[in-house]
Chain A
């Protein structure tokens, strides 16, 4: 498939408000279930965004640009959960608001690897010949319910990202998805650069590997936007490699940049 468009939306900072009692109590009950106690202040830090809000804003832009026309598939990914939602899920909310009749599903709880898993599914489902146009939606926000003692890595940005993928090569600069994979190191501390190099050899590609630990689901969207809109003048292959800080899994995306 071809990545024909990339969009990123970062909202303006909004003023922090106390969470509604229903959300506060829900989070308190969750922590009680795990024998822990919610730090209520954790709900008054960060962006406090719902995914209906972030998804709705970026989809308004998508709609105005025609990206939602003739859509066959929408995959939504997220690392952080949303804040204090008003809807059962943002998926049916977006479907209702933007009259989407396409197939849709979500991939969650795999850290920032969710987007790589989504790209894997897009590749697999495109083989059914029923997916000519798809959107991968990534959502992230920074207000996370935590216990007092929590030391975990948190998402760093609020926002939404959209990749538009098409089966037919567009008549403008685009990125062709060659393959995608998720590698799981056998143990912590394994030589991960070597792991990636070995994987690249199986793809018949030699490349210099440089990568970094990421704490944002949206980083893949940012990197793809940079490739789409800043480069190149001739055909090139690129590898995006990111490591999830929790699972230590490595997401890989091998791309070919196709200039017109």
Chain B
């Protein structure tokens, strides 16, 4: 069984949306909608070079755990942008060398876009199920919205900059993965390049499809939705989660939406940051059941149930 053993995160300072570079802001005609309806006030904005930005949570993790003693076999950087670095600047190799990790398999995953973090969890869970040997993996999430195409997400939200390092294994006691679903919703593979008409069709399907993924995942874990204490969502916008809560008949107060207005949508990092902060604020207690829920352009819908 896969367990999340440790999480460390880096959150740069938040910046008001109207102080971002002009090309990164929503058009003037939509600013009020983004602020009043989507609930977006500020976004996390990077203040350090990329490699430092990605390595900071790993550095923080080394204060909690001796990574060299963890038998880490996989180092995976999950991200959304198809370009993250100039060619042949390899982030996982840099992390491997910087922290002296003896890992052979270090690579990036981006097919599932913002759901790539959960895809890595799913993949590792399968791998862990085939062995009794104790093995670990280090998942890195995070990227910088360096271009308007990443920062301003039409009709949806604003990209924020944050990074995490997540140590998972098959031998932990807490945060056990009980069920996971990743579905591909057909016909939306153009992602941010889809037409307005296609986007409208997606809007009509999204809430129903996402609630179905959530319910399927809860059922896989042999639980009822009423057993779930908390949903840790991707920080896209408030109305989406209000609609999902309403359709599920789930108390919206038990969906962690309070970071959306300050952080923005931090790509593959949202669910894991929300998990770490929910623990820190004691919204999540040992033994609680919780869901991490996210979507990735393409269009992937993903949910995973854990027991804290």
Q: Which residues on A are within 8 Å of B, measured CB to CB?
A: 22, 25-27, 29-36, 76, 80-82, 85-89, 91-93, 95-96, 104-111, 113-114, 117, 120-121, 124-125, 127-128, 144-147, 150, 152-154, 181-184, 246-247, 249
Contact = CB atoms under 8 A, between A and B. Distances in A.
B107 interface: yes
Nearest to B77: A109
A109 B113 contact: no
A127 B184 contact: no
Interface stretch (B9-17, B86-94, B208-216, B246-254): B86-94
A96 B83 contact: no
Interface string B72-95: 000001000011111111111100
B93 A128 contact: no
B104 A249 contact: yes
Contacts, number: 152
A146 B297 CA distance: 27
Given A26-B147, A82-B82, A89-B110, 20 more contacts: A22-B149, A32-B146, A34-B86, A81-B83, A85-B82, A87-B193, A88-B190, A89-B82, A89-B189, A91-B111, A93-B189, A108-B110, A110-B90, A113-B107, A124-B126, A125-B126, A125-B130, A128-B126, A150-B86, A154-B87
A107 B82 contact: no
A105 B120 CA distance: 9
28 contacts: A26-B149, A29-B147, A30-B83, A30-B85, A31-B86, A33-B50, A34-B49, A34-B85, A34-B86, A34-B89, A81-B82, A81-B83, A87-B190, A88-B190, A88-B296, A92-B300, A109-B77, A110-B90, A124-B130, A125-B130, A127-B130, A128-B126, A145-B87, A150-B87, A182-B105, A184-B102, A247-B90, A247-B93
A86 B93 contact: no
B189 A117 contact: no
Contacts of A111: 88, 90
B86 A107 contact: no
Interface residues of B, number: 51
Q: Give the one of B84, B87, B187 with max A CB within 10 A.
A: B87
B25 to A, nearest CB: 15
Contacts of A107: 107-109
A33 B146 contact: yes
4 tightest A-B CB contacts, nearest first: A88-B191, A109-B108, A29-B147, A92-B189
